[in-house]
A and B are shown apart, each in its own frame.
Chain A
Amino acid sequence: MKQLLNLTCFFLKRRLKDGFTIGYNLIFPVIMVLLLGYLTNRNFGDIVSSYQYYAIVTIPFCILMSITTAAYAAKDCAYQKTAMRFVIAPVSTTQILMANVLSCTIAFFLCYFVLFFGVVWIYRLAFSMTWLYIPLLYLSMSFLVSAIGTWIGNGMKDFLIIKNIMNIPVGLLAFLGGCFYPIGSMNHIFRFIIHLSPLTWINQAMFRCVFSESETNAVLTSMLLFLVGFVCCLIGRRSFRKEEFLYGELPGYEK
């Protein structure tokens, strides 16, 4: 337990000092909200402004995008040529994996928690007690994304390819989840398909919390995300190979 705690703290420090994590999880969503909010501000009315809408839907989308950051974080030791030290150190494989997952979860959660209260304050969303469930949603999403990212990252050979490939399904899920266009702008065929995107459920839970003061969706969605995240951790542990963990070439970034 002590080893896990030490490793998690060590990885967490690295994540919080990493420009990649901060850039992807803090600066990118702010730019996206400002850009999309300004671009569409003539298409929204009085109930929710374009900035408020995109502030709510962009954060879950960016958490999902963090799969790439988590995959990079899983390979960080190998890229820094320090992975061998972790393998020969008196720590188990499970502890290395869980430390990676937990450090990414905390780093992402902190970024998006700060961001959420930032946008609430800037765009003046009316406060209600059900908002307390929103951090729970962010935490469960961050855990799931970190678990999937660590699983992918440990087995990947080329980070650039993974980054480009991952952007396609994430973009598609975001489109279906209402992150670019409101859900009502889709026809009846797509209205069925959008329910296949987890972002639809997550966004719905967020909107219910903020605008209807109803927390049921948020609690159920969070529980499900934690459960799936835990299953991904187990799969990641089973598919872990030391030789893949040690492989640290980063094609495309050679100087």
Chain B
Amino acid sequence: MESYLVMKNNVKRAWHNKKFLVLLFLLPVVLCLSAGLINQAEQHAYRVGIIGDQENFKDLSGVEAEETDAFHISSDLAMGVYQFVLIETGEGVRVVSNLPKYEQEKLESALANNELSLSEMKAGNTTKTERGAAFLAMTLMILTTVSMSKLIHDRGAGLYQRFCMVTYKKGAYHLGYILYVMILTYLQAFAGCFVLKLINPDESGMAWIFLLPLFISAITTIISYILCATSQSEVQANISSSAISIVLALLGGSFVAVEKMPLLLQHISVISPMYWAMQIVARF
């Protein structure tokens, strides 16, 4: 009962601070839209520079080819302007690239066998929705700590002490806060997932829209509660949550697909909630 009263009190407080409430719901939606836009920026075909007569490479499909300057090959390849450069040498075609060895070998064998449609080779394993889900989980980890850090504020303002003096139940206050934050985060996550589904309707199933918010709200509430319980100030809790969420997002595969990470990181990535968020989207 006491926990319910704490939760109700917090909902009332949030309701009175309408600007904060609107921002809490608007932010994940806007960020999901931005993530969707950034994901659209990805190039799915190889970008190829050609040195020599372009006519000789007109059968090359699944790539974006253009004539390039021989003087700047190294810097263009280093910057990633081209994934590889084809040089006509008279005796044949030489491939110069900054691709990793395994990809370079695949590419050379495809070119040698005249399999000039290379678009499938470049396709990644992570979908846009999966990346968006990882991004949403990262954002909500930061936002949940912002909501949970009011617990530190209450401790400083004496509200927590007054509650304990009346009820003698410290746990009830904490439980009430956890329930309030969990419900709030579930609604935020649901709004974000809904936007992700709207942006890419054909990429995944439907069940994850309900399951993922449940997972995100549970895990982010636990992490933010631990952070707030161990921090001395609101600023400290918020900075810690930002740092932790960015590290977890990098580990979880939101920046680089897990299968393209070094082997050690591939094993460590399972500790990241963002990794599991992507798995939920992929499986449901």
Q: Are A38 and B72 in contact (CB under 8 A)?
A: no
Residue of A42, A203, A214 near B262 (CB, 8 A) is A42
Decide if A132 is an interface residue (CB 8 Å cutoff).
no
Residue of B nearest to A204 (CB): B79
B233 vs chain A, min Cβ distance (A): 8
Q: Are B64 and A39 in contact (CB under 8 A)?
A: no
* Stretch of B11-19, B40-48, B160-168 at the chain-chain interface: B40-48
How would residues 192 to 210 of chain A score, 1 for a CB under 8 Å from any chain B CB and 0 otherwise? 0000000000011001101
How would residues 245 to 266 of chain B score, 1 for a CB under 8 Å from any chain A CB and 0 otherwise? 0000010000110001110010
Decide if A47 is an interface residue (CB 8 Å cutoff).
yes
Residue of A nearest to B265 (CB): A39
Q: Are A182 and B79 in contact (CB under 8 A)?
A: yes
Contacts of B255 in A (CB 8 A): 39, 180
B residues 55-100 in Cβ contact with A at 8 Å: 64, 71-72, 74-75, 77-83, 97-100
Determine the distance from Cα of A35 to Cα of B246 in the docked complex, in whole angstroms: 11
Given A41-B262, A187-B42, A178 contacting B79 (CB threshold 8 A)? yes
Determine the distance from Cα of A190 to Cα of B262 in the docked complex, in whole angstroms: 29
Contacts of A41 in B (CB 8 A): 262
Q: Are B256 and A39 in contact (CB under 8 A)?
A: yes
Residue of A nearest to B73 (CB): A212
Given A41-B262, A42-B261, A187 contacting B97 (CB threshold 8 A)? no
Residue of A nearest to B46 (CB): A184
How would residues 171 to 193 of chain A score, 1 for a CB under 8 Å from any chain B CB and 0 otherwise? 00001001011111111111000
Decide if B38 is an interface residue (CB 8 Å cutoff).
yes
Decide if A45 is an interface residue (CB 8 Å cutoff).
yes
Decide if A43 is an interface residue (CB 8 Å cutoff).
yes
Contacts of A182 in B (CB 8 A): 79-80
Determine the distance from Cα of A185 to Cα of B80 in the docked complex, in whole angstroms: 7
Determine the distance from Cα of A204 to Cα of B235 in the docked complex, in whole angstroms: 38
Contacts of A87 in B (CB 8 A): none
Q: Are B78 and A187 in contact (CB under 8 A)?
A: no
Contacts of B78 in A (CB 8 A): 47-48, 52-53, 207, 210-211
Q: Is the interface of B mostly helix, strand, loop or mixed?
A: mixed
Residue of A39, A47, A48 near B261 (CB, 8 A) is A39
Residue of B38, B72, B77 near A214 (CB, 8 A) is B72
A253 vs chain B, min Cβ distance (A): 7
Q: Are A187 and B40 in contact (CB under 8 A)?
A: yes
Contacts of A186 in B (CB 8 A): 41-43
- Which of B42, B74, B78, B265: most chain A Cβ within 10 A? B78
Decide if A40 is an interface residue (CB 8 Å cutoff).
yes
Determine the distance from Cα of A39 to Cα of B249 in the docked complex, in whole angstroms: 12
Residue of B72, B81, B104, B262 near A184 (CB, 8 A) is B81
B33 vs chain A, min Cβ distance (A): 14
Determine the distance from Cα of A35 to Cα of B78 in the docked complex, in whole angstroms: 19
Q: Are B75 and A184 in contact (CB under 8 A)?
A: no
B17 vs chain A, min Cβ distance (A): 17
Contacts of A20 in B (CB 8 A): none
Contacts of B47 in A (CB 8 A): 184
- Which of A43, A178, A189: most chain B Cβ within 10 A? A43
Determine the distance from Cα of A39 to Cα of B253 in the docked complex, in whole angstroms: 10
Q: Are A45 and B100 in contact (CB under 8 A)?
A: yes
Contacts of B283 in A (CB 8 A): none
Determine the distance from Cα of A187 to Cα of B45 in the docked complex, in whole angstroms: 9
B94 vs chain A, min Cβ distance (A): 14
Q: Are B43 and A46 in contact (CB under 8 A)?
A: no
Q: Are B99 and A45 in contact (CB under 8 A)?
A: yes
Determine the distance from Cα of A252 to Cα of B149 in the docked complex, in whole angstroms: 13
B49 vs chain A, min Cβ distance (A): 10
A residues 104-161 in Cβ contact with B at 8 Å: none
Contacts of B71 in A (CB 8 A): 212, 214
Determine the distance from Cα of A187 to Cα of B41 in the docked complex, in whole angstroms: 5
Contacts of A183 in B (CB 8 A): 79-81
Q: Are A45 and B81 in contact (CB under 8 A)?
A: no
- 12 A–B contacts, CB within 8 A, in A order: A35-B250, A38-B265, A42-B260, A45-B100, A47-B98, A175-B38, A178-B80, A184-B43, A207-B75, A208-B72, A211-B78, A214-B71
List the interface of chain A (C-beta within 8 A of B): 35, 38-48, 52-53, 175, 178, 180-190, 203-204, 207-208, 210-212, 214, 252-253
When A and B form their complex, which 9 residue pairs have the shortest distance between CB atoms, in order from nearest?
A182-B80, A184-B80, A211-B75, A48-B78, A211-B74, A45-B98, A47-B98, A190-B41, A212-B75
Known interface pairs A48-B98, A183-B80, A212-B72; 17 further A-B residue pairs with C-beta atoms within 8 A, sorted by A's residue number: A39-B250, A39-B265, A42-B262, A45-B97, A47-B74, A48-B77, A53-B78, A175-B38, A178-B80, A180-B255, A181-B80, A182-B79, A185-B42, A186-B43, A189-B41, A204-B79, A207-B75
